[in-house]
Homo-oligomer: A and B are copies of this chain.
Amino acid sequence: MAKMVHSCIRVLDDARSIDWYKAAFDLDVADQLDFDGFRLTYLSNARTGFELELTRNKDRTAPYDLGDGYGHLAVVVESADAQHADMSAKGMEVGNLVDFAPGGDLVARFFFATDPDGYKIEVIQKGGRFN
């Protein structure tokens, strides 16, 4: 049985991304592997064994084409409102808080944040199936 262990995104400036994910979600550098043409950084925290892998291709200068296939990484927080206020105060790009209740019942209270390369992160308040 396979175990999901990480999701990988390519980033232009890994130092910038490391700072952003630390400030936004308290993710730390679990490991960093530096090679000739690229560097891999693994971000995680004590809440999960799953990691976010950042790939920096050292010769890449043009912004990555994010396409329209990949959606987002999702994180759960205790309070979406407090997280939204904190990220806003830090000058980070955040969308509106949404109560998603298409059938009348609340499925999730969430917002989307945008990381330095433009990747979306769904920030979901703990509750229901999101724990």
Among A6, A52, A72: residue with most chain B CB under 10 A: A6
Contacts of A77 in B (CB 8 A): 2-3
Give the complex CA separation of A77 and B27 in angstroms: 25
Q: Are B25 and A69 in contact (CB under 8 A)?
A: no
Residues 36-75 of chain A, each 1 if its beta carbon lies under 8 Å from chain B, else 0: 1000001011111110110100000000111111111111
Q: How far is the CB of A20 from chain B (nearest CB, A)?
A: 13
Quick one: which of B45, B48, B66, B72 contacts A50, CB cutoff 8 A? B48
Q: Chain B residues near A25 (CB, 8 Å)?
A: 1-2
Residues of B contacting A124 in the complex (Cβ-Cβ under 8 angstroms): 5
Identify the A interface with B (CB < 8 A). Answer: 1-10, 24-27, 31, 33, 35-36, 42, 44-50, 52-53, 55, 64-77, 83, 102-103, 107, 117-119, 122-124, 129-131
